[in-house]
Amino acid sequence: MKTINVVELFAGVGGFRLGLERYNKNLWNFIFANQWEPNKKVQHAFNCYVNNFGPENVNNEDIAIAKEKIPNNVDLLVGGFPCQDYSVAATKAKGIEGKKGVLWWEISWILKHKKPKMVLLENVDRLLKSPSAKRGRDFAIMLFNLNKLGYDVEWQVINAADYGMPQRRKRVFIFAKLRECFETAVMFDDEQTLEEINESSVFSTVFPVVEKSSTKVKQMEFSSQFDDELDITENYNGGKFLTKGFLINGDLLEYEIEVDPNFNPERLCLRDILQNPDEIEEKFYLNQEQLKKMKELRSAKKRERFKPNGEPYYYSEGRMNLLDNLDRPGRTMLTSESSLNRSTHLIQTLDKNGRNRRRFITPIEAERLNCFDDDWTVSITSEKMRYFCMGNALVVDIIQNLADQIERVYDELIVNLKINQNNIKTCDLEEYDV
Ligand SMILES: C[S@@+](CC[C@H](N)C(=O)[O-])C[C@H]1O[C@@H](n2cnc3c(N)ncnc32)[C@H](O)[C@@H]1O
């Protein structure tokens, strides 16, 4: 029977695993999962993961330590990691070195030493234009690094709500294949239409897109322009990356996308994921003080603030509707959902006595916004942490839909590759220090 060995990094409460297992529980063998919340005594997300999937092969250490324990025969590595500054520095003793604590360099180490054949990563879409002082540099470093490690890459920004899911959550998904394990890929040629390119894409096969009419396709040699990660860190000036792209054999093709207007799923809205009024505890309804505070938070503001050098500047925020529209998908859920802030969801619905009242969303509704099962996080005794974990998680149905494509790619694997004594597919990569 076919099984795909999976490693889940930065596993949180297991959104990737749940999505893959919903597609086909028997297809995947989770050989290692890692989740560790830095500087926290109680490991809520880890405990929740174990509660749902059991303790087998689940690790609760800093990935910087745990990475050595990852088995060698990884077919698929998945994970949602934080968007950080990926720049590198050169030190006399060690050559190029990534900054300590920067999680990309842990992933990079794992790719180099464990050589997963396929990789699926998720991040905020801001990654494509970070940092603000040098737009696109961080993603450029990451792409360069992936190419150097032998991977071809594809990415696409996906807003879950555009494809029928109940939350407007826009994330960039990145899929990479280890070149040596697959038929030699070629960059698309001029004859190919974007429609044909989209059809061969892991992402747009499931999440269909069209090219945004106002932008041009960019195609160029990319990796050969730079000597190493340090060169990119210091000299990249290509600007932000577009919302869909490919890096094949170090050459780049990218374009700005829109959702295919012919794609017409049944759309879920906030109203569709609400619990029955009988199930809503009184504490979720707003009192006068909370209402006053929410009105103030969502009003337009202009405030004087000061730069580190003491220079004043004005910070302004526009007015937001007090109530979230029940007939649209929910706004992006943040880790701060449990606290009273501008982004907290606030809805008006009938209570169990038929009265129209304003309330916050419940932990179950937070789970439903991300397409998790009801009470997925019920083992987390702190309600605040249930919302926090959902703010960190992804929309599970995205992964469930992509699973079919991952299986398709896996089926293209060249099976008779050389295997070395550590059971790793061999790969002639240049040694490097990062
Ligand atoms: C964006 S969340 C991923 C959430 C996950 N996809 C889910 O569905 O719940 C990133 C996770 O990485 C974890 N993390 C942060 N630093 C870590 C480290 N050094 N080692 C291991 N995990 C870490 C965080 O605790 C958080 O749960």
For 258-315, how does the pLDDT look when each residue is reduced to its tens digit (9 = 90+)? 998 888 888 999 999 999 999 999 999 999 999 999 999 999 988 888 888 898 888 8
Distance 243 CA to ligand 1 centre (A): 24
Kindly report the protein residue whose alpha carbon is nearest to atom 23 of ligand 1: 36
Distance 14 CA to ligand 1 centre (A): 10
pLDDT at 60 over 70: yes
Mean pLDDT confidence for 32-59: 97
- Using alpha carbons, select from 72, 73, 1, 69 the residue that is nearest to residue 36: 69
pLDDT at 418: 45
pLDDT at 432: 35
Give the pLDDT confidence of 356-406 residue by residue, as tens digits: 999 999 999 999 999 999 999 999 999 999 999 999 999 999 999 999 999
Q: Is the pLDDT of residue 127 over 80?
A: yes
Question: What is the Cα–Cα distance from 370 to 398, expressed in whole angstroms?
Answer: 10
Q: What is the pLDDT of residue 419?
A: 46
309 C-alpha to ligand 1 centroid (Å) = 35
Round to whole Å and give the CA distance between 345 and 362. 10
Nearest CA to ligand 1 atom 25: 37
220 has pLDDT over 90: no
Looking only at the bridges linking them, the beta strands covering 170-178 and 209-211 are: unpaired
Stretch 313-341: mean pLDDT, rounded?
A: 94
> Which pLDDT score, from 0 to 100, does residue 434 have?
38
Q: Which of 6, 9, 10, 125 to mutate to test the pocket of ligand 1 (most atoms within 8 A of CB)?
A: 10
High-pLDDT (> 90) share of the chain, %: 75
**pLDDT at residue 96 in the model:** 67
**99: pLDDT strictly greater than 80:** no
Give the ligand 1 atom nearest the CA of 62: 20
Band (93; pLDDT cuts 50, 70, 90):
low
pLDDT above 80 (res 89): yes
How far is it, in rounded angstroms, from Cα 343 to Cα 291? 14
Contact residues of ligand 1, CB 6 A cut-off: 10-16, 34-38, 45, 62-63, 80, 392-394
Nearest CA to ligand 1 atom 13: 10
Confidence category of residue 414, pLDDT binned at 50, 70, 90: low
Domains and CATH numbers, the chain: 4-262+393-411 (3.40.50.150), 275-360 (no CATH)
The residues that are catalytic are: 83
CA-closest candidate to residue 127, choices 63, 84, 75, 187:
84
Stated length of the chain? 434
Mutation choice for ligand 1 from 65, 392, 395, CB with most ligand atoms inside 8 A: 392
What pLDDT was estimated at residue 261?
85
